[in-house]
Amino acid sequence: METMTHEIITTEAIVLKSLEFKEYDKILTLLSPDFGLFSLYVKMGKKKHMQAHALVTPFTRAEYQFTRGRTDLFRFHDGSTLDQHLCLRKSYKTITTAAKMVGAICSSQLPHTEDPALYQLFRVLLGHLTKSEDPAPLLALFYLKLLKHGGTWQEGDCCQRCDKRVEQEFYRFGGELFCQHCAPPPSTIFNSQEHRALGQLCHLTNLALLEGFASPGDLHQKITSLFESCYIFN
């Protein structure tokens, strides 16, 4: 982040949402490494509308210049597009998966919280979405990373309540692990093979390995249930 004269701030960000305001203006929800989630008011006007179209389009990654206002709504000054991620729009599965990632971010993150790691993860996954034949593993990985990143993911194989080791049926609610007797309803049940796969995915750092990763059963749907038990989507 670079703070310029006249209180103009410059940061890289990705557009998550774009809300129409008045006839031509926009209110953007952005994710940046420096400010986390924040809102930006873009006063466009008819002439500027066409010139700045890319800067206010969802999934665009750009460099934005803005000033702080009296509220949490920052005011747009200028910007330059870095990547529009146009390839996301070539596939229904891809664009809907990207939209689900946006929903996950908006539901799980507090505004104005600096988080370079989350920004980098989202940026990298957006790029990989266009290269993947099946985006479901990327979405499942993103949910798991968000759970772990948010501090709600419990490592190991011991029950959160009784501290006994779980060996066959692993019950998880959100990111916490329980045995059969302590599990709160409705917990998601994983067998030993699925639970090992969860651990591998949580620590996966090379996305190239995801293409050859064999996910047992309906693991992706179970991961979605875990995430949704922690966060309600907007």
| Residue labelled with tokens 């990547």 | 83
Q: In CATH, what number is assigned to the domain containing residue 73?
A: 2.40.50.140
Residue 121 lies in a domain: no
Question: What pTM was computed for the model?
Answer: 0.89
**In this structure, are 77 and 156 located in the same domain?**
no
**In this structure, are 138 and 208 located in the same domain?**
yes
Q: Give the total number of structural domains in the chain.
A: 2
Average pLDDT on 40-45 reads: 87
pLDDT by residue (tens digit) across 190-225? 999 999 999 889 888 888 778 767 777 789 999 998
Residue 111 lies in a domain: no
What residues make up the domain containing 143?
132-230
Q: What is the pLDDT of residue 5?
A: 43
Q: What is the pLDDT of residue 213?
A: 74
